[in-house]
Amino acid sequence: MLGSRGQAGDPAGARQALGTTLETWKQGGQIGSLKDRNPSIIAQDLDWEAGVSLLRFDVLDQGRDESVNLRIPVELTLQDKAGKEVKKKVRYMVGTSPSITVFREIF
């Protein structure tokens, strides 16, 4: 699939990278550990970085292709440090070229 900038995107690879990222968080891994994987994933999520736990996640659809990125909606079930459970609907912008990136959009 070609994005509007003429670069090839990889929707299947983007969905796989998102799944790997969220499973790592759910299993209690550190966000920085994704860089050491093969292939390496650069991720950003402010809740994860703040020490919030991920209990569950549900990918809501296959995502929308936006040039070389895929925008994927996800429902997160989080638990803060005080033990409070919160559900959030968020979107991740996932890229596969030139490197694999998974960034949660802030709105």
Q: How far apart are CA 79 and CA 96, in angstroms?
A: 29
Q: Are 74 and 22 in contact (CB under 8 A)?
A: yes
Share of the chain above pLDDT 70, in %: 91
pLDDT in tens, 20-67: 999 999 999 999 999 999 999 999 999 999 999 999 999 999 999 887
Q: What domains are defined for the chain?
A: 11-104 (3.10.450)
Taking only Cα atoms into account, the Rg of the chain, rounded to an integer number of angstroms, comes to: 14
pTM of the model: 0.88
Token pair recorded at residue 12: 């299947």
Token pair recorded at residue 69: 């990125």
Q: How far apart are CA 42 and CA 104, in angstroms?
A: 12
Which DSSP category does 6 fall into? S
Alpha carbon dihedral 41, 93, 58, 86, in 10-degree steps, equals: 100
Q: What share of the chain is helix, strand, coil (3-state, %, to 5)?
A: 25, 40, 35
Give the pLDDT score at 4.
35
- Mean pLDDT confidence for 65-77: 92
